[in-house]
């Protein structure tokens, strides 16, 4: 397929020529103008439509096939949630309206959604209050750590360190470092954070602990209550990374475990788009004693049943995003939660867990399984067995592409050699999962009998095998 610039024909136009309605006397600042004319392609409307239609057919998405991308919850989301987000009464609102004189009366429906979403998330997680402002999971992490810092500053605590297990998402240490904390890594034992190592590392400088539960291996830490108590004993705070909430949503509440702060990924758990850089939403919940530090503004319900926006929060960490977060994403999640209800959310966790364990049991004879116990929403295999024949995790990922499946996460978590992390989510059928399992078994057999055949995979895609090391070292993004 040619690039759109390669299809350009000099003089060809996609619009009828017309006269500009901008007065010739208007002169733009020279700093706003290019030195030369923009090098745009010259095409007809039909050329453009056909180019991008063809390009769209080469994309892979969850509407096409199975997307078992571990730790990312790339699940199918119902189109009705998209419909709700597109309602004119929501989609055409100006974001400044609630802040204008009388504007709040024009946005009561939107403010009600924000308020009720706060209440729903409190019930789901056993937290006392939420901010819906954060625009993604990592943004929620940073918000949570800023709240943690505000708490310690308010109490006069001299805290310098955040503890994070070695199996954590990479954004955890990044968020803690951006907030000004030193990060110390707690090693794992038997697939979960080593509680004895944690005890030896906790001291008066410990500001808090960031923990994903279940973790990136899909394992639920059995010592979770005790871990929270250890941190609380030194006036530290516990942070729950909600990336893996699909495994326990409706079944257990992080607030009941002893967590003080958490973020949720609405774009993973509650029916909003995921991938391609956004949009996302990472609401942050806190226990009662931390509510005063939440970002402003806060939507409150008046005694007469109407809704207002409150700014008078002296100890707030301030704004962390414009307006009220990604409102369209929040709308999708709101509709999804109301549609499923309590029992539906329980089934989300049940199906996610049974699908992951089904895959684990079916593939454990073909791939190494470092942690063979019951998993939650995802399972992590190792391609170490195949690597002995020269077939690595990345080769298995490329082979899956040729069989019509998006590859799972590979080489993460880093505590597993040749890691292959598979998350089927709760939305996939047994038939789809059986097809994926059959492909993985076929690949394992091929790795034994014909390992050389993997070196030039994939073969069915518009672009074949790339030199990924060279691509990372020699970026060339310009045509």
Torsion angle of the four alpha carbons 66, 69, 71, 76, in this order, in degrees rounded to the nearest 10 = -30
**What stretch of H or E contains 381?**
strand 379-382
Query: Residue 461's domain spans which residues?
Result: 346-472
Closest C-alpha among 308, 287, 286 to residue 297: 308
Q: Are strands 182-186 and 161-165 parallel, antiparallel or unpaired?
A: parallel
Sign for the pseudo-dihedral over CA of 23, 25, 28, 34: positive
In a domain, 264, yes or no: yes
166 lies in the same domain as 292: yes
Q: Does residue 388 sit in the same domain as residue 258?
A: no
Domain membership flag for residue 27:
no
Where are the alpha helices (H) located in 36-191, listed in sequence order?
45-56, 79-85, 88-91, 103-106, 108-125, 137-155, 171-178
Domain finish residue from 339, 370, 402: 339
Q: Are residues 331 and 355 in the same domain?
A: no
Is 36 a domain residue? no
Phi and psi angles of residue 128, each rounded to the nearest 5 degrees, phi first? -90, -30
Per-residue pLDDT, 102:
52
Q: What integer pLDDT is reported at residue 280 of this predicted model? A: 87
What is the token pair recorded at 391? 């077939």
CATH of the domain at 138: 3.40.640.10
Residues in Cβ contact with 316 at an 8 Å cutoff, skipping those fewer than 6 apart: 292, 293, 294, 295, 296
354 shares its domain with 312: no
In a domain, residue 13? The reply is no
**Please, which contacts does 355-359 make with residues 24 or more away whose CB atoms are closer than 8 Å?**
355/424, 355/425, 355/426, 355/428, 355/433, 356/218, 356/422, 356/423, 356/424, 358/424, 358/430, 358/433, 359/422, 359/424, 359/433, 359/436, 359/437
For residues 289, 294, 298, 299, the Cα torsion angle rounded to the nearest 10 degrees is -60
Same domain for 303 and 194: yes
Domain boundary among 339, 357, 387: 339
User: In the 8-state DSSP scheme, what is residue 368?
Assistant: B
pLDDT tens series, the chain, 479 aa: 889 999 999 989 887 656 666 666 677 788 888 777 777 889 999 999 999 999 988 888 888 889 999 888 889 889 999 999 999 989 988 777 766 555 566 788 999 999 999 999 999 999 999 999 999 999 999 999 999 999 999 999 999 999 999 988 889 999 999 999 999 999 999 999 999 999 999 999 999 999 999 999 999 999 999 999 999 999 999 999 999 999 999 999 999 999 999 999 998 999 887 766 668 899 999 999 999 999 998 999 999 998 888 889 999 999 998 878 899 999 999 999 999 999 999 999 999 999 999 999 999 999 999 999 999 999 999 999 999 999 999 999 999 999 999 999 999 999 999 999 999 999 999 999 999 999 999 999 999 999 999 999 999 998 888 888 898 898 887 76
Residue 316 in contact with residue 130, Cβ under 8 Å? Answer: no
In a domain, 374, yes or no: yes
User: Helical H runs in 233-366?
Assistant: 254-257, 266-269, 327-363
Residue 119 within a domain: yes
- Within a domain: 46: no
Same domain, 443 and 303: no
My answer on whether 228 and 247 are in the same domain is yes
Last residue of a domain, one of 339, 359, 393: 339
pLDDT for res 17? 59
Q: How far apart are CA 366 and CA 43, in angstroms?
A: 52
Supply the CATH number for residue 452's domain: 3.90.1150.10
Q: How many domains does the chain have?
A: 2
Question: Domain check: are 385 and 254 in the same one?
Answer: no
Distance CA 420, CA 439 (A): 14
Q: Is residue 183 located within the same domain as residue 331?
A: yes
Measured between alpha carbons, how far is 275 from 73 in angstroms, rounded to an integer? 10
> How distant is the alpha carbon of residue 123 from its chain centre?
22
Residues 186 and 257 in one domain: yes
Specify if 127 maps to a domain: yes
Instruction: Report residue 28 as tokens.
Output: 């733009």
Residues 264 and 178 in one domain: yes
Is there a single domain that holds both residue 231 and residue 98?
yes
């Amino acid at each position: 397929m040619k690039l759109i610039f390669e299809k350009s024909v000099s003089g060809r136009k996609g619009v009828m020529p017309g006269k500009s309605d901008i007065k010739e006397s208007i002169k733009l600042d020279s700093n706003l103008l290019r030195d030369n004319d923009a090098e745009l392609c010259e095409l007809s409307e039909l050329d453009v439509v056909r180019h991008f239609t063809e390009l769209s057919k080469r994309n892979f998405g969850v509407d096409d096939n199975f997307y078992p991308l571990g730790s990312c919850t790339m699940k199918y989301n119902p189109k009705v949630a998209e419909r709700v987000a597109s309602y004119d009464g929501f989609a055409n609102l100006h974001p400044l309206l609630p802040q204008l004189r009388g504007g709040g009366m024009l946005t009561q429906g939107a403010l009600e959604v924000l308020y009720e979403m706060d209440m729903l998330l409190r019930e789901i997680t056993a937290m006392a209050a939420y901010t819906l402002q954060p625009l993604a999971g990592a943004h929620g992490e940073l918000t949570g750590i800023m709240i943690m810092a505000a708490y310690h500053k308010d109490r006069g605590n001299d805290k310098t360190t955040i503890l994070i297990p070695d199996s954590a998402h990479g954004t955890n240490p990044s968020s803690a470092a951006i907030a000004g904390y030193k990060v110390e890594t707690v090693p794992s034992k038997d697939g979960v954070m080593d509680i004895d190592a944690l005890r030896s590392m906790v001291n008066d400088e410990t500001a808090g602990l960031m923990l994903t539960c279940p973790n990136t291996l899909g394992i639920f830490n059995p010592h979770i209550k005790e871990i929270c108590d250890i941190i609380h004993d030194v006036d530290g705070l516990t942070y729950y990374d909600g990336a893996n909430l699909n495994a326990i949503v409706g079944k257990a509440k992080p607030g009941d475990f002893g967590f003080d702060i958490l973020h949720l990924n609405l774009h993973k758990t509650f029916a909003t788009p995921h991938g391609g850089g956004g949009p996302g939403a990472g609401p942050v919940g806190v226990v009662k004693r931390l509510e005063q530090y939440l970002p402003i503004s806060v939507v409150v319900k008046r005694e007469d049943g109407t809704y207002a926006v409150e700014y008078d929060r002296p100890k707030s960490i301030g704004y962390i995003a414009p307006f009220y977060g990604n409102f369209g994403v929040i709308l999708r999640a709101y509709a999804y939660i109301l549609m499923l209800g309590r029992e539906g959310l329980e089934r989300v966790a049940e199906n996610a867990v049974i699908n992951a364990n089904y895959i684990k049991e079916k593939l454990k004879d073909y791939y190494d399984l470092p942690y063979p116990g019951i998993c939650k929403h995802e399972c992590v295999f190792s391609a170490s067995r195949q690597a002995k024949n020269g077939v690595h995790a990345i080769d298995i990922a490329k082979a899956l592409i040729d069989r019509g499946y998006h590859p799972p996460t590979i080489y993460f978590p880093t505590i597993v050699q040749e890691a292959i992390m598979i998350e089927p989510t709760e939305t996939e059928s047994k038939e789809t999962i059986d097809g994926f399992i059959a492909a993985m078994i076929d690949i394992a057999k091929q790795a034994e009998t014909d390992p050389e055949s993997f070196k030039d995979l994939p073969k069915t895609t518009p672009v074949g095998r790339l030199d990924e090391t060279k691509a990372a070292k020699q970026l060339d993004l310009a045509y």
